[in-house]
Structure 1
């Protein structure tokens, strides 16, 4: 059974798919629609709509307030890869790295199989170094793979 966070995420992504650019929501309206507390909406937005996953979130507080979620748009795959390379420096956690790989799969820059291979190489069990060295090594490995994707394909 799916949890409420997954359902809310799918709903918001569905609206984004229809609009292609951005969606503006009122937190209280979405909470009411899914019969949950508004903080649940905050949690979904904070964890599921991150820069690493390819989203920009803006909010305006107050009576007429809203939350705007938009997808980062790139003209070329190489632009997205460049952005990702900047995001991971000087170090990247495993969670953020996996989010980035999922984004590359979603945008069909890499296949799901390639994503799984890349994910296996940057896993904390493979990179058995203490922090922050582990995150720095992960960044170096990812940078090398992304550089190859950007310039060698």
Structure 2
């Protein structure tokens, strides 16, 4: 069966480079911008910003699931060494949790949108700010995996293949 799979390259991937960071940065930016638009709309009383926020949350919710799919594939191919395992596990658990939390916040935002309220409720805004905090923690963990532990970087892949790590 494995003979039908494409060979792994110098990044230990069957495709040219990691896809997870590309998709996940899209989701991160959209969540941050959605919450920014909601807060700005709340304080300026500009309801048009709520529409911008809604669409950003919707596309962020879709893209986070795509990011998780590629993240799981790439984590499975990363062959993490002992020092990186706990960070990778925390990143994985928080990523799955964030997908659920983001879906719930987006659904909540949809209900608010259907009610055509002139102002967003404070509990929703508080949940959105909490969501931003979780996204920041998740971004930090992902940064550690790349910039500190070097998963899918050529030197680390070569060290793992050579038995150094």
TM-score range, shorter chain: 0.3 to 0.5
The structure with the largest strand share of the pair is 1
TM-score, normalised on structure 1? 0.37
Judging by fraction of residues, say which structure has more helix.
2
TM-score, length-scaled by structure 2: 0.35
Using CA pairs under 8 Å that are at least 6 residues apart, name the structure with larger relative contact order, 1 or 2.
2
